[in-house]
Structure 1
């Protein structure tokens, strides 16, 4: 009984860790989406600001970049997650078929999986039998594929989250470049963008358990270099056209 209870605790602990990992992945994806919005729209509006001091072209370019980027992010995420969900549904169908076709073989397979995790053969058999009696499909999906049939990935939710995170990130440089007077537009935008990138780098490092200082320096230096290049190109083309 003690071994069985311990196995149940391990099983529940693995489910908890899996749920936490899923939430962290969503958070990481949100941070990366915001980071993409910051970088892409900042580079666009700073490049246009290097070519002209007029607010209208900067606003149009920023709104166009924000809209196109959000749509692109949402569409890409929807397609990617739809493919993942199709794979998960196929795995679900395969497990259901195998359980109907040969339930005894599936029971042996489940017991072997728990035995491989360190349980004795007798305890592994008991755990597999009890879990099969409770919900055979869920037991196999968890042990074999680390899937929860009630928590399959949603393409719509993923697309909406990706678009929203991009929009929130992209709004920062757009607001920053439109509010100040012309002489301060680029400096204020660069400052806001670098601070925001530093924050996203720090959050990403904390989520991933890596070194925060290195992550922050990497995104800030990369962002500064990108802004310098786009501003320089905009300034050169602006001067040439003018």
Structure 2
């Protein structure tokens, strides 16, 4: 592209594709850096959105087919959507690592990684449902027992969903890049709010602190497993790219 520097003649500005208003070319670097930050945040958002969609939709479908009841109510689905909105918005202010090279979308990588993490989410949530029914003996055949069971699943989906944000936002370990303060506190705040809703029964059936603590520990354990799995998936894609470049060299 043609670039007219600051102080250029009107003719040069008219002929140029870009006209710089400040001295030097640092503004070009700043634009590139900001664009790559935006790309990384969009990448994290898309990865999280696909993962969470797979987790919730497939789990609800399988639960209905296996047990012939709704694992969460319509009100709970609305609450989950509202609680997810704030952390999702704050992804725009997250800290990201700038790539040295031009960015491009890798749809195959996005779909594969999000499907792997999303499928793990389905398995872990369905396993929790099975444990609540068969190990903790929650009487889901009664109206009261079913309502309590639904509150537990609601809390699990809320806590695990927000923890997944911290999994999908990095390619390395979740602690490799410190999250932005707005993202961190919005995710923590909404998880605590979801916990209080489930514990004290604000619009749902109360489950108490005992079951809430069990669900939190369960979600944290699976959060670590998901993070390790994500890193293995990205490592595979990195190896595949290097292998293709090596073959092309010969």
TM-score norm. by structure 1 comes to: 0.36
Name which structure has the greater RCO, CA cutoff 8 Å, separation 6+.
1
Structure (1 or 2) with the larger CA radius of gyration: 1
Higher helix share: 1
